[in-house]
Amino acid sequence: MRSTTLCLPVQGRPAERILLGLKKTGFGCGKYNGFGGKFEEGETAAAAAVRELKEECGLAACEADLEYVGELQFVFPASPELDHDVQLYVVPTWQGEPQESPEMKPEWFAIADIPYKQMWADDIYWLPAVLKGKKISGRVIFGENNEDVEDITIRSL
């Protein structure tokens, strides 16, 4: 299982708005998501989150700006090479303005308007808790089509 990060820029705590990116290429293309990806060699989860945030939408944050909010494991039985665990971060402070990159097109959403139908199917189960300030841990098992949620366990920390 490979390790990844997911960084969610928010305005307000509890969150009033969230910055999501429409994935333009690769895994998850066409879905809105937070910003993140794989660790580079020798990189911590927080350092990877800061780097990915800058690469994918141009926002500059420091590791001290990140709020660790939990971990999720994603299991794809039909495609085990997609299995990964994710260290989740919320970031309420950064420098710069969101910019479109070759990989992501960023867009602000009011919490009530989050486009869950255009996101990964599991997001609706855990993202609302994180946006309310809770820390979570969970495991998501996807169905044969690598899209539908077959089983999910989310608990508050």
Query: How far is it, in rounded angstroms, from Cα 92 to Cα 14?
Result: 10
Q: How many domains does the chain have?
A: 1
pLDDT of residue 14: 87
For the segment 8-31, the average pLDDT, to the nearest whole number, is 94
Please say whether the beta carbons of 37 and 51 come within 8 A: no
Query: How far is it, in rounded angstroms, from Cα 101 to Cα 21?
Result: 10
pLDDT of residue 36: 96
Query: What is the DSSP-derived secondary structure letter of residue 38?
Result: B
**What are phi and psi for residue 17, nearest 5 degrees?**
-140, 155
**Is the pLDDT score of 44 beyond 90?**
yes
Residue 84 tokens read as 């990964």
Q: Write the pLDDT tens digit of every residue in 121-146.
A: 999 999 999 999 999 999 999 999 99
**Is the pLDDT score of 24 beyond 90?**
yes
Report angle CA 40, 91, 152 to the nearest 5 degrees. 75
pLDDT of residue 91: 97
Domain that holds residue 127: 2-156
Q: Write the pLDDT tens digit of every residue in 86-132.
A: 999 999 999 999 999 999 999 999 999 999 999 999 999 999 999 99
Cα 44 to the chain's mean position, in Å? 16
Output the domain CATH number for residue 134: 3.90.79.10
Instruction: Express as a percent the part of the chain with pLDDT over 90.
Output: 96
Exposed, middle or buried by CB within 10 Å (0-12, 13-18, 19+), for 125? middle
Exposed, middle or buried by CB within 10 Å (0-12, 13-18, 19+), for 55? middle
Is the whole-model pTM more than 0.85? yes
Q: What is the mean pLDDT of the chain?
A: 97
